[in-house]
A and B are shown apart, each in its own frame.
Chain A
Amino acid sequence: KNQVEQSPQSLIILEGKNCTLQCNYTVSPFSNLRWYKQDTGRGPVSLTIMTFSENTKSNGRYTATLDADTKQSSLHITASQLSDSASYICVVSGTDYLSKAAGNKLTFGGGTRVLVKP
C-alpha cells in the first residue's frame, strides 16, 4: 500500500530559528515529490517539486531534499518567520503516464503543524 509518513506531527519554534521536517514514503511507481504549505482554513499551496533525479530544491527560505534510494525527503525552513506557521504536507506522485488515469495517484502525508512563536 502506498504510504507517506511525516514527522514530527507538530513542532513549535522561536522566530528566527531553523527547523527540519521529515517525510518517508513507500509509493511506487515514483514520479515526483512535492511539499505543500497549508495555512489554517486554506487550501494547500505548492512549495517545491522534485523528481527522481533531483536531490535538492530551494524556494526562498525553504529547502527540500530527496533521497530516492532510502525514500526519504526533508524540508528545511531557515530563519523562520511568524508567517511560516502552517501545516506542511509531503505529497508523493506515483503517476503512471501509460495509464489513462495518470495524474490522480497522489499520496498525501498527514502533515507537520509548525507554530512559530515570537
Chain B
Amino acid sequence: DTGVSQNPRHKITKRGQNVTFRCDPISEHNRLYWYRQTLGQGPEFLTYFQNEAQLEKSRLLSDRFSAERPKGSFSTLEIQRTEQGDSAMYLCASSFVSGGEETQYFGPGTRLLVL
C-alpha cells in the first residue's frame, strides 16, 4: 500500500453513461497525476495538478473527460458519455516536489469496463 487510494476499484457501466472516479493522494503531496493503462501496455499520461491548478492535459484527454482538484487534496476524474474505448485502468499518482528528484506513488487504480 503506497498511501494513495482510489475509488471505486472497479466500475462497470453502459455506453453513454457518465462515471466519476476519486483519488486521495498522500496527504502532504502537492502533485497529483492521472494516467490511463490498457491491457498489456504501460500507463499513458492524461493530466496533472500542482496543488489545485491543472497544469497540463494530454491530447488523450478528450472534451468528454474532466478532472478537478478543488482544494488541492483529493481529485476526481469524470468521463461523460462513456464509449467502449474508454475501458481501461485509470491510475492516479501523487508526489511531493520542492526542486530536485520526484517520485510518483501510484494508487491501485480504478478498472473501468464500458459495455
Contact = CB atoms under 8 A, between A and B. Distances in A.
A49 B43 contact: no
Given A49-B103, A103-B102, A44 B43 contact: yes
A95 interface: yes
Contacts of B43: 44, 89, 108
B107 to A, nearest CB: 5
A95 B104 CA distance: 13
Say what secondary structure dominates the interface of chain A.
Answer: loop
Q: What is the size category of the interface that chain B forms with chain A? A: 20 to 34
A60 interface: no
B85 to A, nearest CB: 18
Interface of A: 4, 9, 31-32, 36, 41-46, 49, 51, 89, 91, 93, 95, 97, 100-104, 106, 108-111, 113
